[in-house]
Every structure is written in C-alpha cells, then in structure tokens.
Structure 1
Amino acid sequence: MNFKTERRIALISVHGDPAIEFGKEEAGGQNVYVRNVGEALARLGWQVDMYTRRVSAAQDEIVQHMPNCRTIRFSAGPLEFVPRDELFGYLPEFVEKFLKFQQENGLTYELVHTNYWLSSWVGMQLKKKIGCKQVHTYHSLGAVKYATIDQKDIPPIAANRLDVECQLLETAERVVATSPQEKAHMRQLVSTKGNIDIIPCGTDIQRFGSVGRDEARAALKIDSDAKLVLYVGRFDPRKGIETLVRALRESKFYSDEKLRVIIGGGSVPGQSDGIERDRIEAIVDELGLRSITTFAGRLSQEVLPTYYAAADICVVPSHYEPFGLVAIEAMASGTPVIASDVGGLQFTVVPEQTGLLAPPQDVPAFASCIDRILENPEWRAKLGEAAKIRVRKKFSWDGVAEQLSELYIKLTEQPVPVPVPVPIPVPATATATASVTVTEKELATA
C-alpha cells in the first residue's frame, strides 16, 4: 500500500512500553500488540509513532525500530516503575509532554489509537485539544476484571476506570474488540452505545512454527519421549498458574517419570511478578512437583518458538483473557492449547479441534484435559496441525494491520463531528474504592 500523501498515526500505550523486553514486569500481550501492529503498519507505508512512559534514566527517549516506526518515551511522574493502578494521577503530565513534543517536531495526527484505559483518558484529552479522532483497544475491561477478584482486592482507582471505560466506548470514533466475546462483554457490562469493530490480535507466523519438534527438544536438551507441559506468561494470580500446578498433581501422569513441566515468565524481586513467582514455587514444593518443574525465567522472542515447538501442550489457565496471545503463538507452533473457557480464548481455541477448554480455576477439569491429550499422541499431533492451520488463516500481524489501516483511512476521510461536552474524570491524589456490582453469574453469561 503506497500512500500519495503521508499518513501518520500515534499509537498510545502509557504503561505498556512497546520497546521493552517482552516477558518483564508489566510486559505482556499489550506490549506485543502495540509493537507488532506498529511495525506492520510501517510496512504498509504509515509513519508510526508509539508513545509510552519512561521508567528509567537508562532508557532511551526515542527508539527507532525500523524505518517509519519508533517508540517515544515521556517522563510523567517519578522516573521509575509505577504499577498501572497508580498511574492515573500522572496522566495530565503525559498529555502535556505529548502536546509539547508534537509542537516542537511539527507533527500532526488526524487520529490516535489508544491502548488500555489509562491511554484512553489521554486520547480523550487529545481529542479536545487537537481535534483528532480516536480508535481504542481495551486489552482488558475493568467490569470483567473486578468481577473475578475479591471485593477487598479491588483497587481505589476502580471507580475512575469504570467511568473512563464507559465514556470512552460512548465517545470514541471506533473501539476495536479482539474477539466476539470481548464485544459481547462491552455491550453487556459497559455500554450499549458506541461503535465496535472486531479485529483480532495477531502473531508472527514466520517466527512461530519455524522450529520442528525434534529440533526444539534437542536444543533444549529435553528427551524425545518426555511428556512436556508448558506455561508462558507473567506471574500474576489472575493468570491461573496455581490451577495448572494443582491440576498436574491430580493428573494420572503425576507419577509418570516422563512428565516434565516448564513455567516460563519474567520475575522482578519484590514486585508483584516476583511475589507471585515465590508463591507458585511454594505450591510446587508443597505438591511434590519440584523435581519435574523448571522455572525458565523470561523467555526472549528468540527462544520462545523453540519452547512452544518442544511442548506437548501449552496451558493458558487465565481467569480471564480478552484475547490470549500465548494461545495463538503456541498454536502457530503446532502445539495444542488447553485454555480457560473465558473471553477471547473461546474464540482462538476451537474445542476438540485445536485444543480443549476448561472452566477457569477448575482443577479437576484441567487435569482431565491434560490427561486426554497426553495419553493420545496421535490426537495431540492432529490437534497441533489443525491449530497451526487456523492461525495461518486468521491471525497474522500483517493481516491485522491491513484491517486497522482500512479502518484508520475510513475514519480520517469522514468529517470531524461537532464535539458534545462530556465530563471526563480528572486525576486526583485519592479516590474512593469502587462499588462493583457485576456478579460472577453476569460475567459468565456475557
């Protein structure tokens, strides 16, 4: 796609730095999404600027990824890592830095694509100040998240988040849902107003699937006849790693000397990621799984395809996922997936065809799924092949970027509507804890 005139897009991801090493604290699916969408858009001819928050003096302020695609970092608040639930108060400074950078560099953005609710607040301010249009991807919904955790664990910022997410859906030119299930949640739990398109996340189909099973196992020094179960992702209670390890204890293969488990993910001592890893390791010791379990640490994008290819099964036991990038990365590698029957995982994993689904946090159900696949190698291979075919047909980054590009062009060619004043929550030093009324039953039926 060659544009006659320059088309420039700003991708805003305040807390998810697209230039950071994937797998570290706060580096998950959102970082992967923004970085890969940005690079794929650049290949289509867009000038792509990805804006995020700088968390260290050692970080470069501008990272050039490829021609026409760069990450721009702003210092907003202390120059250190700040958990996402504590970032709201620093967003006005982020907006100021954005406007200053835009002015100093002579940049014009007809449209911004914001990611996660924090960035959506930034985008709504920019709409008022520079008259741009806004596309948004939620990555997760507060109404869904808060329905899956104890009331006592709901953060003080929750009320602001729910307000912002509702106003965003009702005022953005377009919201991008990554699955039909996520769109249904928006409609039932957020608002019946607003415009929603479904454009899935993608994966690098050249990278994942490039390594064969035997080659992968040889590289990782894993026996060819091992029964290997893999988890990849952050250490976070909502990722359901505890469900996986308890399911392995209940599996009929628990006493099989060939059973091996790899838990791959970054950890930062003293932060939430490291604290959860310590908790999971304690459970592994309690269940007598230490001798068969490897905590592989952060898996770089260079080695990750090898781990996926080596595994018999990749398990995604999350309490909720709006999409689930790990699932399609594993499937692209020819590895069947056992996932929680929630959110976007219901869209990416086809039960009995590319893997299996189980109720979230249901240990016996996950154990049964693990047993079904491990005890039937021929079926496992058939599931893996079907998984690879599904990903190649539906989930490539270039295909995702093509759909987004078409959406952007369509929106920029439409006249700018007369704005209707809408009160947007303003960051304060303290907010009251939200009273979240969405129930587990409502979530399950969304």
Structure 2
Amino acid sequence: MNTNNRQQIALISVHGDPAVDIGGEEAGGQNVYVRQVGEALAQLGWEVDMFTRKTDVNQPNIVQHQDHCRTIRISAGPETFIPRQEIFEHCDRVVEGIIKFARQEGREYSLLHTNYWLSAWVGLELQRRLSLPIVHTYHSLGAVKYKSVQEPPQTATRRLEIEKAILENANCIVATSPQEEENLRSLVSSRGNIEIIPCGTNINHFGSISYQQAREKLGFSPKENIIFYIGRFDPRKGIETLVRAVANSKLRGQEPLRLIIGGAYRPGQSDGEEKERISKIVEELGLSDITEFPGRIADENLPTYFAAADVCVVPSHYEPFGLVPIEAMASGTPVVGSAVGGLNFTVVSEETGLLVPPKDNAAFTEAIDRILSDPQWRNQLGENARKRMEEKFSWEGVTSQLSDLYSRIINQRV
C-alpha cells in the first residue's frame, strides 16, 4: 500500500473508548481490541480514525496515538459516564458528530469497522447516508447473553433487531471464533457474510518475563501456589465461582495458596458493589488471609502477574472471545476457564489448560487442583499455551487478516 496516499478508514466504538486506561467501568477487551487493531493498521499503511463517545468534560477531543492513528471523542449527550444500556438514545448525535468531523477534516473514509451493537446502529446510519462499506465485530451477542440474564434490559428488543440488521447488511461480519459464527447462524440469521478472524495479543509484551523473575519482582515465595484472576467486577464474570472453588481446594492447609483477584473498581458504582459482594464471600469462607485485591494492574505490570501465576482462572458465564486467556497463555500460564463461547476456541483443554462447565464450583476446584498438584504438567501446559499464541494469536497476524479483508471489500466496490 502506498504510504503517501493512505486510504482512510473509521473504527467506531461508541461505548469503548480506545484511549482510556483498561480495567475500569466499561473499559475492557473491546477497548483493547480497537486500540491495538487501529495502531497496527496504521503500521500497515492505513489512515485510521477511531470514534468514541466523550464521557468526561476534561477529556481531550482528539488523542493522537501515533502517526496516522488517533481517537476522536464525539460529544453525544452529557459528557459524563453513562451505562451502556442508556447510550442508545444518544447514538444519533454520534452519527452527526462523525459526519461533521469528516467534513471539517476533509476525510473521505473508504470503509467503516463498527464494534458492538451500539456502533452497528451508527454504522448502518452512516452506510445509509454516505454509502460506505461496513465490517462489524460483535464483541458480545445479545441472543446468547440474554439466555443467562433473568431480566433483560429495556434495550434488549432493539439490540436483537440491530444485531440481525448488521449481520444481513454489513459487507462482512468478523466473528472471533467458530463458536461465534455458529451462534450467529443458529440464533440470528442465515443471511450475511461472516469471516473468522480471532482477537490477538501482544506476544512480545506478554511472555517478556520468566516465572522465576516475575515471582522475585512481586515478592512471591517460590513455594506458593498462585491462582490469578484479572478482569471486570461483574456478576457475569463468575468471580464468586472462583472464590468458592478455592475455598474447597484439597490443597488448602497442605500447601501455601495465594488468590489474586485483580481489576479496577469504583465505590458506589456497579463494579464497586460487586467487589464488596465478593469481599464478603471471601471473608465468610475464611479466605481473607490468602486473598488480595490489587485493584487495577497497570498494563506494564500485567505480564509480571500473569507470568508469576501457576494458573489463570477465567470463570465467565459468557465470553464471546476473551482477551485475558490469550494474554495468560502468551505469558506461558495455563488457563482454567468456563467452556463457553470463544474460550472453547482459544483454550485447548488438556493441552493449554482445562475447560469446565460455567458456574460449577466443584469442577473448577478439581481443575485448579489438578494443575497445581502437578508442576511438571503445569509447565508443559504453559509451554503449549505460549506456542499456540505465537502461531495463531499475535496482533500482527490478526491485523494483517483484517487489512486483507478491508482491501478486498474496497476493491470489490471499485
């Protein structure tokens, strides 16, 4: 691609700001995905604008990440945090903001890549008004999610309609796993184009420190069995299952255990309330002396925590893909995860870790104990995991596939 005449593309992530610190309220895997893809696409020769909604009056309107890649924050509704289920009513302002910005800057986008159903609606409106091709990534699928939710939100019907419309009208859907493609076909629509391109991870960042070095750096004893969770404090993430599984471990009292539950939380917000609920369960089960809540772990420290762990546990009730397991595996750490969604694709049970039924405390106990009881096998799982990540899940490889897809779609239109 001629770098002097770059094609301009817009990545749209209405509620997932690519420029924020990861780990806070509404800041997780989608934010990482959009940011990493945007920056890697710029390296491949694209001109990348990433659009999101402004959530703080003090935030800069434009964040330049590197040459040819920036985040643009659109003012849509109050410039404050709003839960994602309340954002839809402001999406028309996002559409107007993107059109206005493009006109002011003289941008002529060749393609839109939308992320999550809110952005899908924005993309469909832009497609209608500007005749632009769309690629879409779901990140979470309402048809699957609402199966495990007792009271779906008021936006559920609208979300399902938009998720069907984007599948049938986008130029291509990027499914991040074969499981997601199956769900789209069986639960959403038989129409529409789908290609499987997984999420990626920075295999140079994760895997940059050894098990021994990581433990020394964090001050952990070589004899400790370290069980690690990192992610949002949200009931759907299944942290309670992990805590109860550790409480029932046969190794408890025989060998030193340490449970680390990492992730940002804000008192008074939903994640802060969930953290308090988990803390009470930890206390009730007598695990306070072996459990720590380090809060948000900075990106530069995360590889050290992953590498120092004997096992990383991902007990989600639902996980369309999940970046945490591939970050753990890139660090050479086996994963015990729920056999749901994308985890069935990324984690090879008995080879890079173990998969068990979600919400099954006893099954998680047994899986964690199996790995901790056999250090040699644990090391072999970790080596297999690292190799799998190198071969299939680097951001460079993922973004190269996306770049090829964009080029094919743009050339077909020409």
Give 1:397's aligned amino acid: W
Measured against aligned partners, the alpha-carbon deviations of 1:19-77 in whole angstroms (never above 9, x if no partner) come to 00011111100000000000110110111100001110111110000111100001101
The corresponding residue for 2:355 is: 357
Measured against aligned partners, the alpha-carbon deviations of 1:286-334 in whole angstroms (never above 9, x if no partner) come to 1111100010100111000000000000000000111110000000000
Report 1 or 2 for greater relative contact order, CA contacts < 8 Å, sequence distance ≥ 6: 1
Q: CA deviation at 1:130?
A: 0.9
Correspondences of 1:135-214 after superposition (within 5 Å) = 135-150=135-150, 153-214=151-212
The corresponding residue for 1:324 is: 322
The corresponding residue for 2:387 is: 389
The CA RMSD measured in Å over matched residues stands at 0.9
The corresponding residue for 1:125 is: 125
Three-state SS of the structure 2 residue aligned to 1:323 is: coil
Three-state SS of the structure 2 residue aligned to 1:294 is: strand
User: Is 1:76 the counterpart of 2:76 in the alignment?
Assistant: yes
Contact 2:52 2:73 in 1 (8 A): yes
Three-state SS of the structure 1 residue aligned to 2:109 is: coil
User: Is 1:333 the counterpart of 2:331 in the alignment?
Assistant: yes
Three-state SS of the structure 2 residue aligned to 1:110 is: strand
Q: CA deviation at 1:268?
A: 1.3
Partners of 2:308 and 2:300 lie apart in 1 by 14
Partners of 1:258 and 1:248 lie apart in 2 by 12
Q: CA deviation at 1:149?
A: 1.5
Three-state SS of the structure 2 residue aligned to 1:255 is: coil
Q: TM-score by structure 1 length?
A: 0.92
The corresponding residue for 1:8 is: 8
Q: CA deviation at 1:396?
A: 0.5
Give 2:54's aligned amino acid: R
Give 1:51's aligned amino acid: F
Partners of 1:6 and 1:367 lie apart in 2 by 52
The ranges of structure 1 where at least 4 consecutive aligned residues each deviate by more than 3 angstroms after the TM superposition are 1-5
The corresponding residue for 2:93 is: 93
Partners of 1:405 and 1:256 lie apart in 2 by 52
Q: CA deviation at 1:256?
A: 3.4
- For residue 243 of structure 2, the aligned residue among 242, 245, 266 is 245
Partners of 2:254 and 2:298 lie apart in 1 by 30
Contact 1:231 1:263 in 2 (8 A): yes
Q: CA deviation at 1:251?
A: 1.1
Contact 2:16 2:26 in 1 (8 A): yes
The corresponding residue for 2:298 is: 300
Q: CA deviation at 1:250?
A: 1.2
User: Is 1:411 the counterpart of 2:409 in the alignment?
Assistant: yes
User: Is 1:28 the counterpart of 2:28 in the alignment?
Assistant: yes
Q: CA deviation at 1:343?
A: 0.5
Q: CA deviation at 1:3?
A: 4.8
Three-state SS of the structure 1 residue aligned to 2:384 is: helix
Contact 1:33 1:201 in 2 (8 A): yes
Give 2:75's aligned amino acid: S
Three-state SS of the structure 2 residue aligned to 1:183 is: helix
Give 1:214's aligned amino acid: Q
Give 1:77's aligned amino acid: G
Measured against aligned partners, the alpha-carbon deviations of 1:340-380 in whole angstroms (never above 9, x if no partner) come to 00100000000110000000000000000001000000000
Partners of 1:132 and 1:3 lie apart in 2 by 22
Q: CA deviation at 1:270?
A: 1.2
Measured against aligned partners, the alpha-carbon deviations of 1:88-125 in whole angstroms (never above 9, x if no partner) come to 00000111111111111100112100000000000000
Three-state SS of the structure 2 residue aligned to 1:71 is: strand
Q: CA deviation at 1:415?
A: 2.5
Give 2:37's aligned amino acid: V
Partners of 1:255 and 1:71 lie apart in 2 by 50
Q: CA deviation at 1:4?
A: 6.6
Q: CA deviation at 1:255?
A: 2.1
Give ranges in structure 2 of 5+ residues lacking alignment: none
Q: CA deviation at 1:5?
A: 3.2
Paired residues in the alignment total 414
The corresponding residue for 1:440 is: none
Contact 2:225 2:255 in 1 (8 A): no
The corresponding residue for 1:444 is: none
Give 1:315's aligned amino acid: V
Give ranges in structure 1 of 5+ residues lacking alignment: 417-446
Correspondences of 1:218-233 after superposition (within 5 Å) = 218-233=216-231
Three-state SS of the structure 2 residue aligned to 1:268 is: coil
Q: CA deviation at 1:257?
A: 4.8
Partners of 1:264 and 1:320 lie apart in 2 by 19
The corresponding residue for 1:311 is: 309
Partners of 2:173 and 2:351 lie apart in 1 by 30
Q: CA deviation at 1:2?
A: 4.2
Correspondences of 1:27-66 after superposition (within 5 Å) = 27-66=27-66
Measured against aligned partners, the alpha-carbon deviations of 1:220-241 in whole angstroms (never above 9, x if no partner) come to 1111110000001000000000
The corresponding residue for 1:441 is: none
Q: CA deviation at 1:413?
A: 0.9
User: Is 1:107 the counterpart of 2:107 in the alignment?
Assistant: yes
Contact 1:2 1:44 in 2 (8 A): no
